[in-house]
Structure formats: structure tokens, C-alpha cells
Amino acid sequence: MKIFPRALLPWPLAAALATAAVAEPQKDGKGAPPAPKATPEVQPKSKKAKSAPPVPAARSTIKAEAPETPPTAPVPSAAWQLEASPFAVLGSGRPGKAASDFDKPDGLAFTPAGLLLATDAKNRRVQVWDVKARTHLGEFGSKVLGGEIVDIAVAPDGMVYVTDQTLNLAYIFVPPAPGAVDEKGKPLGPYDYQFKGTRFGEQGFDKLGGIAIDTAGRIYVVDAHLNDVRRFTPDGKPDPAWRFERARANGETYLHGCEGIAIDESTGNLYIASEKDAVIQVFDRETGAYRRKLVGAAPDASGMPGGNRVFSGAVEGLTLARHHLFAVDESVGHIQVFDLSHPNAFNTDLTGYGPRRAARGGYVGFFGRPPLVDFDDKKNTALQQQVKDGSVIPGQANPPGHFCSPDAIASHTDDATKETYIAIADQCNYRLVVYRWSDLTRSLGPSTVAAAPKKGKKKKN
């Protein structure tokens, strides 16, 4: 009998496990069958934690420590939900050091060939996955990476940049050349990326995080503390043509806590997530000038984000695919989708989009759901102990698509099949979750997908 990794169990079984994970225990505890392993009711192995109460049933998923959120910002209603199941779930769903384990997946990027690279922050490595085959291929960087690695980007020539937000620099790796060997003469595998030094360590960054690279090889780097975006030439030097418009005339910065970044070369837009404002700001990709455009909110009289935000809290990772902008709404586990071909994708709040997808417009809706169990709740020491000792596996308690503090997002369109894959770092579930564009479009409906022309009645002969 074939044994499936727990995180890749068929959906009905995974859903059943999740139901068991949040079932309410009997008050007297008598007569109840033993809970299966990896459900939150299982008592931890250590004696110290045995007296701890069981994990509560479905709990509030909006974190108390989330960045400031506009008090008038409602969560989009269920009418905006895009019903699509994940195509793949990558990783064991529990923290660990094994090949397919993650301990805080953070940054994501696809290579030109379509391989998915994921920073595994606490394990200080980069994992390599074949999304279509759902296969772990290898890893690199464990002997080099220090600090706290965050984001990752791939240049057109295949060079990989990994950012470190505590050492405020980027590590550079290159794919191995055919027939190359390591320092001991051992042949290198196709996924044994080689370290080639660091960049930006002398540039005065305070919290270097988000990174993106355009087709010309120019590198855009985001500083979350300085609320700044800098651009470098392919050789790593500051680009003299870049003049980022960091602040308004009164000195107020346009960004307030930022990491997520996406480049739209077809329109010349540069999208930056402003986390504490629950909004995405738009700049000129070539010059750095502010374009006076918002995504997810409407500007007030002074140009500041206003109205009822689409986002419930911190906006994390951004990616572009099929003329759509995908943005991670961390606190509620939603991936918000905007159709950039529509003018009202910009400077429109949730109220402006209407109560539901009644008409074709710039806001398409969201996919993903909040977690059934919030493993990001650090105050729940009993739960954290259960995860640590292995009696609870987050990736089984939360079915695929129930995100727990999601972060980065990346996309890739396969040249052969023209299918687009969208990957999300599901941090507190210790896994990556991948969707397909074809599955999402089936749930968009006629309001966002052009309807086929109506067929006329056949004429009688």
C-alpha cells in the first residue's frame, strides 16, 4: 500500500482530520474514543504540559498584534469568495529539519524554468520544489545563510538573491554549471546553487526585506523601517536614474511598513504593500515617482488612504499574473484578487465595489479561508508546546486553503501548457499551497470573465 505524506493526504481525509481537530471534547471526558494523533485534543508527551487545557475549537483568527487597521474596514462578505481547491500542498505541515519540513516558510520565487524556490527562514536554507510534480528536489544555502532570511528573487539569467532583514544584505547564488564539482571534487547536482557573495551590506538599510527583479536585471529592494524602495543595476550598484518619491510635501511617507513588491512591466507600475495602512501603493517603475493610485482603498481629500478598505489588516506578498494582482491579506487568510485591466481597480474602496460581484469590475474577490486553529497565537503556550513536541501537526488541523499567517506569494505561467501556478507561503501551517489559474477562473463567473457570444437561432430551410 502506498503511504502518502501527511500533508499531501487526499482532501476528504484531510478535511476529516481537521473536523476531528476542532471537535468539542466531552465535558466529563468519559466514554470518548482516544483522539487520533496530531489533533489538538491530544495531550502533549511532556509531563509538564499534561495539565494544559485542550486546544479550543475554531477561534478568532484576527491577531491582536496585527498592524493598525482602519476601524471602518469590514472583511469582504462571502459573496466575494472564489471557490477553488488547492492544486498542491508542499511540505510536511509541521516544523522540523527534514528535507520536506519547513520552519517558517517566508519568501517565494519561481525560476525561469518554473521551479519554485522557498526560503525556509529558521532552518536557514532555500528549498527547491517542482510544483507540477509536487516533488521536493533539493535545497541550498544552509552553510552560508545567517541572520533572518526573508524574501527571494530570481534574475533573468537565473541568479538568485536572498534577503536578510537582520544583517541587511542579500546573498547571491548561481545555478551550477554542467559538470561542475564542489570544493571536495564531488559533482554538483542541478539544484546545488553555489554561493557567490553578498550585496547591499554597505548601503545603509535598516530592515531590508522585499526584493524584485525586472527583465532588464534591475533590482528593486524594499526597506520596511525606512519606508523606502531602492533600485540597483544588474552589477549591484545604485541606479542613478532612480528617484523614489518616498514622502509627500509635508514629509509624511507614502509607505508605512512595507515588504511585498510586484513589477508590472506592461503598464510601468510598481506595486508596494503598505502594511500598516492596509493598502497597496503604486509608483512609476522607471522613475520611482508616486502615481497617486491606491489598490484596496479610496483616497480621501488629502490623498491618504480612506474609505472601507478591501484588506482587513496587513498586506503581505504581491504577485502579478494574467493582468491580475494577487495580494495576501494576512490576518484573515485571504488572497485578494484585482483585475488591473479595469480602471476602478485603483482608488476604489470596498463600498465602491458594491456588496457583491454584481458587475464586472476591478475587484474580483478572494480565495482562501482563516485557519480553524490559530497556530500564530504565541500566547497559547499549551498549543505551542503541542506543536513543538509533535502531538499536533498544524498542516492536519488546518485543511489546505485555511491559511495561518500567510506571507509571500509568487506566480509562474508554464510555457508548454500555458497554465499559471500561484504559490503561497502558509507560514504557521509550515507548508506551501499552490493554486492553478484554471481552477480559479471556474469560480469567477460571468461578472469577471467575458461571456461567450450568444448563439442565434438556426434558420429554417
Confidence category of residue 358, pLDDT binned at 50, 70, 90: low
Q: Provide φ and ψ at 156, rounded to 5°.
A: -55, -30
Centroid of chain to Cα 439: 18
Confidence category of residue 5, pLDDT binned at 50, 70, 90: very low
Residues sharing a CB contact under 8 Å with residue 205, sequence separation 6 or more, in sequence order: 168, 169, 221, 223, 226
Query: Residue holding cell 507600475?
Result: 269
At position 49, the amino acid (one-letter code) is A
In a domain, 449, yes or no: no
In a domain, 405, yes or no: yes
In a domain, 83, yes or no: yes
Q: In the numeric block, which cell numbers belong to residue 247?
A: 514622502
Lowest mean pLDDT among 74-83, 107-116, 279-288: 74-83
Q: How far apart are CA 58 and CA 69, in angstroms?
A: 23
Rg (CA), the chain: 23
CB 80 within 8 A of CB 422: no
In a domain, 26, yes or no: no
* Higher per-residue pLDDT: 109 or 62: 109
Q: How far apart are CA 423 and CA 433, in angstroms?
A: 6
In a domain, 251, yes or no: yes
Instruction: Supply the range of the domain harboring residue 418.
Output: 49-441
| E strand or H helix at 196 | strand 194-199
DSSP 169-193: EEEEEEPPPTT-B-TTSPBPPTT--
In a domain, 17, yes or no: no
Model confidence pLDDT, tens digit, residues 169-195: 999 999 999 899 988 889 999 999 999
In a domain, 6, yes or no: no
Indicate if the pLDDT at residue 18 is higher than 90.
Answer: no
Domain count, the chain: 1
Indicate if the pLDDT at residue 453 is higher than 60.
Answer: no
Compute the mean pLDDT over every residue in the chain, rounded to the nearest whole number. Answer: 84
Model confidence pLDDT, tens digit, residues 190-248: 999 999 999 999 999 999 999 999 999 999 999 999 999 999 999 999 999 999 999 99
For residue 428, the SS3 value is helix
Lowest mean pLDDT among 53-62, 135-144, 214-223, 396-405: 53-62
For residue 437, the SS3 value is helix
Centroid of chain to Cα 444: 21
Model confidence pLDDT, tens digit, residues 47-106: 333 333 333 333 333 333 334 444 445 678 888 999 999 999 999 999 999 999 999 999
In a domain, 41, yes or no: no
- Find the mean pLDDT for residues 277-288: 97
Q: How far apart are CA 295 and CA 281, in angstroms?
A: 7
| C-alpha dihedral sign at 201, 204, 208, 210 | negative
Closest CA to 228 of 200, 201, 247: 247
Closest CA to 119 of 135, 129, 110, 108: 108
Query: Residue holding cell 476531528?
Result: 20
* DSSP 8-state class, residue 33: P
Buried b or exposed e, range 38-55, using 16+ CB within 10 angstroms: bbbbbebeeeebeebebb
Indicate if the pLDDT at residue 43 is higher than 80.
Answer: no
CATH number at residue 270: 2.120.10.30
pLDDT for 184 equals: 87
Q: How far apart are CA 244 and CA 228, in angstroms?
A: 8
pLDDT for 445 equals: 63
DSSP 273-339: EEGGGTEEEEEETTT--EEEEEESSEE-TTSSEESS-SSSS-EEEEEEETTEEEEEEGGGTEEEEEE
CB 101 within 8 A of CB 122: no
Helices vs strands, H then E, count in the chain: 5, 25
CB 182 within 8 A of CB 155: no
